[in-house]
Amino acid sequence: MDPSVSIFGDWGTSRLRLYLRQGKSVLDRRDGPGVSALTQSPERTFLDLIGDWREAQPSGAILCGMVGSRIGWAEAAYAPCPATAGDLRERVLKIEADGLPVSIIPGLSCINPLGGPDVMRGEETQILGALELDPALKQGRHLLVLPGTHSKWTVVQDGAITGFLTAPVGETFALLRQHSTLAAGVGADVQGSPEGFAMGLARITEKGPAVLSHLLFETRARQLLDALPAADAMGFLSGLLIGADAAAARQWFGDLWRVTLVGAPALNDFYGRAIAAHGGRTVAVDGDSAVLAGLSVLSPQNNSEFHVLA
Amino acid sequence: MDPSVSIFGDWGTSRLRLYLRQGKSVLDRRDGPGVSALTQSPERTFLDLIGDWREAQPSGAILCGMVGSRIGWAEAAYAPCPATAGDLRERVLKIEADGLPVSIIPGLSCINPLGGPDVMRGEETQILGALELDPALKQGRHLLVLPGTHSKWTVVQDGAITGFLTAPVGETFALLRQHSTLAAGVGADVQGSPEGFAMGLARITEKGPAVLSHLLFETRARQLLDALPAADAMGFLSGLLIGADAAAARQWFGDLWRVTLVGAPALNDFYGRAIAAHGGRTVAVDGDSAVLAGLSVLSPQNNSEFHVLA
């Protein structure tokens, strides 16, 4: 048995990504259903998917994301902030699937900068991975944003996640895009244009995020009165929502306004533009790479973060 | 033939309400599908519904709402603001259905206080009706709000609609309520509680509408971490959205902060609380009564507004 072979998994609400790893290499990859779309038990789904990977005698599996929520496989209670990789490793939930050890990474909770409760599940792994990919982030205080279904503005200090602020930006966009009158008559395959995004971003930057609800309706009115093309309208909607998120975050995190973006390249690009519109600078880290680095640092046998710090 | 018998209709996206009127009395009422839910042509739908009302020999029908949009029966072009009842009467679109004259009231367009294009269709009739129900509104400058799927903050001056500002508040609430993770696991029959509404309104009033997106996620986090009951969570969500609408409107219409609410009683009550949280006073007009009064004043043979002004 080669102890360096193991299974990594990013198991969210809508998607499962499994990787067979050996050291830093990905030997194979398989996709499966998110925890909200399971047709059989999480354990059965997992075992069916890994199938012949067992022949490589993996030492275990480590999973992050909604798999650890109460609608997932087994509930791993939220860890409180501040939290380091070491803190999370200590709180990993250990279960077993057909003799294979499975580690489930807990999510994080905090009181956010608005004084309200906040949670994340899955993003903590990406953030700790981003710190591995850019070790300069382990020293001092830094702001990272993870754009997506729920954007997470996250502060790290000396390698610990100290707090974060969530906005359901991607989810709001998707709902308005799919179901609302703002997108009535817009074909499902129409992608938002960069020109429309720039127009929406300029509007919200000029008028301020306080009037987001009121600017949203311009998406519709501009189509009706100004014959705004559908692709521009969808870009406009996206520019408004992401621009409002960045403008509000600027209020709360303005002293850390050199932001590390951790997400899919296209989303990183949109957030980079929105942060730049508010005078900020950004560097981007690929979200998938960050997940793998995070799962690696959170693996039970891992102690790479201490090597880096040493 | 009694010329005082006529048919009034409020034909929106999701609902048709038809009334058989004689003078100020409603003789009969029938409901039908909105223009987005038709199973046959608008004309056929209309004629089937009015059926035996023809025996009363109505002089004609007058309809407001999305029936006059490009997805309705016939497109009645938007009239520009400022617009009086007289201006709208002149622009009524006249068609015929099986020999019965049918008048379709046009919507309104304006450049709103944010400098963007804006439109309404149906609300203009409610506003002009509210002016009939409370003639004091015909003198001087006043702010009315029509809460609903799309809230419409509307300024009238000396009987003319001079401009308005739209926010898709009810639609956003409905989409988040039905489809989002904020309401995951909340039964479809759960109604928002007044206590939850008050909590959401207090949060957005304290933190300001610029952080609406970020406060929205508290709806979820409070359920997960604080065991907030589902009914309180749904009220909280409603309080945030309506509170943000009122807070932003306060910025733009603060000099007119004695607001006439024109809507369903429950919605009027929510908006009344939100406006009061920002130091405003309100009076309420029932939305259905306002539609009937508006259709009456916009009827081709009507000249009641001149009687009132004389």
Of B110, B212, B206, nearest in space to B154 by CA = B110
Distance between CA atoms of residues B38 and B288, nearest Å: 22
Q: Percent of chain B at pLDDT above 70?
A: 96
Distance between CA atoms of residues A50 and A32, nearest Å: 10
How high is the ipTM of this complex? Answer: 0.93
The amino acid sitting at B147 is: P
The amino acid sitting at B289 is: S
Residue B74 has pLDDT above 90, yes or no: yes
Of A81, A213, A216, nearest in space to A152 by CA = A81
Full DSSP string of A7-73: EEEEE-SSEEEEEEEETTEEEEEEEEE-GGG-SS-HHHHHHHHHGGGGGG--S-EEEESGGGSTTSS
Name the one residue in this structure whose structure tokens are 């109505």: B58
Find which of A119, A120, A164, A214 to mutate to test the B interface (most B CBs within 10 Å of its CB).
A214
Omega before B209 cis (within 30°)? no
Residue A306 has pLDDT above 90, yes or no: no
Please count the residues of chain A. Answer: 310
pLDDT, one tens digit per residue, over A54-103 is 999 999 999 999 999 999 999 999 999 999 999 999 999 999 999 999 99
Triad A223, B149, B107: Cα angle to 5° = 50
Of B78, B109, B150, the CB nearest to A217: B150
Q: Which residue of B has its CA nearest to A171?
A: B180
**Residue A12: Cβ within 10 Å count:** 20
**Residue B139: Cβ within 10 Å count:** 12
**A109 lies within 8 A of chain B by CB:** yes
Of A141, A107, A112, A136, nearest in space to A124 by CA = A107
**Token pair of A68 as six digits:** 């650890």
**A278 lies within 8 A of chain B by CB:** no
Confidence of residue A4 (pLDDT cuts 50, 70, 90): confident
Distance between CA atoms of residues B180 and A252, nearest Å: 26
B117 contacts A222? CB cut-off 8 A: yes
CB within 8 Å of chain A, chain B residues 171-200: 171-172, 175-176, 179-182, 184
**B13 lies within 8 A of chain A by CB:** yes
pLDDT, one tens digit per residue, over B249-289 is 999 998 999 999 999 999 999 999 999 999 999 999 999 99
Q: Which residue of B has its CA nearest to A70?
A: B224
Residues A90, A91, A97, A100: what is their CA dihedral angle, to the nearest 10 degrees? Answer: -10
B208 to chain A, minimum CA–CA distance in Å? Answer: 7
**B240 lies within 8 A of chain A by CB:** no
A207 contacts B114? CB cut-off 8 A: yes
Element (H, E) at B43: helix B42-50
Triad B206, B212, B215: Cα angle to 5° = 75
| pLDDT of res. B308 | 37
Within 8 A of A222 by CB-CB distance, chain B residues are 116-117
